[in-house]
Chain A
Amino acid sequence: MTQVSFPQGARVGFISIGPWITPAWHDEYRQLAARIQTELGITFPSLDRVACWRTATDHVLMRNSYADAGVSLGYGEAAIWMAIRNDREFRLRSTWRDLKPAAERWLNDVSSRLEGAFARLGCMAAESQHQLRLAA
């Protein structure tokens, strides 16, 4: 089965969104993005709101020194994810000191809080077909 894309190595939660093929799809998307920003902003005060894309399909909604958080849509699902930054500013900072190990440590430290935030956003429970899962 084809699956919604998300950044490699990301922590991901999935929400089943059903068909969004209406002229008002963008309003529904804005509401979903605002809900994600509110929940993640409360859970992780270090995240700032941003508006950019990692690829054509992965929309970055929030960012801190180590990680991007965002949403990707496709095939009836929304993938809410958090992944280590890969933008130019992060790579430039990494030329002085490799920041990836610290970023990995931070992501591991916050994984339980992140799963809590995913659950509050309505991501599928671990036992279900669309379980919370880590990207390979």
Chain B
Amino acid sequence: MYNKPTSGMWRTGPLRRSVCDWPFDWVTEITTLDPETQVHQCIGTIRQTGARPIGEAAANARTIGEAGAMARVVETLGQILNMSDPENDEFVDSAADCLDVLLQQAPAIQRILSALAGPRGAAAAPALEQYGQQR
């Protein structure tokens, strides 16, 4: 059974209101661009109550949007733990090798942290209805 998350560069879209008036939900889409085929796909839609403050709703959406990248990093961290465990078959008796694999994850971790922090400056303004209102 295929049980890997959708591949590619995940991206969370702007928050939209589900309807114009109250009560509404915050709706946003997670899409991905496959690095090999360049096929753009919708992974799913996140729907949150409109009672949630917009900043918090946007942070929640960003966090879910980074789930694929976080899963890949955690998978690698698990491999490093196996490499440093004498009881494990993957054990390598070298702290330098473990550190090397860990440091290879630094760019991915920095990118995730930057994405979770959200946009700054003018780009931090809520980007509502970039693609128009959902009917």
In the complex, B49 has a CB within 8 A of chain A? no
Q: How far is the CB of B5 from chain A (nearest CB, A)?
A: 14
Interface bracket on A: 20 to 34
- Please tell me if A76 contacts chain B, counting CB pairs below 8 Å: yes
Which of A4, A19, A53, A76 interacts with B42 by CB under 8 Å? A53
Q: How far is the CA of A4 from the CA of B34 in the complex (A)?
A: 13
B118 to chain A, nearest CB (A): 14
User: What is A's interface to B at a CB cutoff of 8 Å?
Assistant: 2, 4-5, 17, 19-21, 23, 25-26, 29-30, 33-34, 37, 48-53, 56-57, 59, 61-63, 72-76
22 pairs across A/B with beta carbons < 8 Å?
A2-B37, A20-B38, A21-B33, A23-B9, A23-B111, A25-B9, A25-B11, A26-B11, A26-B13, A26-B31, A30-B131, A33-B130, A37-B132, A50-B134, A57-B40, A57-B41, A63-B135, A73-B38, A73-B39, A74-B37, A74-B39, A75-B38
Instruction: List the interface of chain B (C-beta within 8 A of A).
Output: 9, 11, 13, 16, 29, 31, 33, 35, 37-42, 111, 129-135
